[in-house]
Amino acid sequence: MSALPDAVRALYGAWRLARFDSQGHDFFDKTTVGFWRSFQAAFILAPLYLLLLAAQAYAGQVDLPFGRYLALELSAYFLSWLVFPVVMEWLTRTLGCRDRYIPFIVAYNWAMVPQYVLFIGVIVLGLIGLIPTSIVQGLTTLLFIWTLVYSGYIAKTALLVPLSTTAGIVFLDVLLGLLLNQLITG
């Protein structure tokens, strides 16, 4: 399977999972090649992430020189794509579901696309003044809740673990993201 059709199928699978349709998993390449290709999602989203960083700077929300800010944020962005999968490799071994690690990470990575598109879209529209701040806050809160549920659904259906374990994995994901961002951006 070539990279572009694989990405299109995977994005369709992520969309199906976003609708809480477990058959979305059927659209992912769950091989080792598919695992590595799933990290393409980071590069697909990078221009959108750069747009967010530029909009934040334009809105005066950046206290650092833009070059330093950009370097720190991009470091955090790309490291975040690596840290969670590395931790999950160890955790799936510990939980006894290592055989489902690759399908989980593949789905998890591709599921970042709809999450980032929605979050960044709302935030950028707010930063440039097309959506009032109060609505942006409400929408991002709803999106955050949806993201937690969506991530939990992916963990539950890919790893086949109990709901309590699923909740722990989602919490771990959020915690790692916060810690990484704090370590890099201070």
In tens digits, what is the pLDDT along the chain, a chain of 186 residues? 577 888 999 999 999 999 999 999 999 999 999 999 999 999 999 999 999 898 888 888 888 888 898 998 899 899 999 999 999 999 999 999 999 999 999 999 999 999 999 999 999 899 889 999 999 999 999 999 999 999 999 999 999 999 999 999 999 999 999 999 888 877
**pLDDT digits 0-9 by tens, 46-62:** 999 999 898 888 888 88
Question: Looking at residue 44, what is its pLDDT?
Answer: 94
Decide: 131 and 181 in contact? Cβ < 8 Å. no
Question: Looking at residue 25, what is its pLDDT?
Answer: 98
Query: Among 74, 115, 108, 73, which residue's Cα sits nearest to residue 91?
Result: 108
Per DSSP, the three-state class of 154 is helix
Question: Looking at residue 1, what is its pLDDT?
Answer: 53
What is the C-alpha separation between 127 and 5, in angstroms, rounded? 34
pTM: 0.92
**pLDDT digits 0-9 by tens, 59-93:** 888 888 888 989 988 998 999 999 999 999 999 99
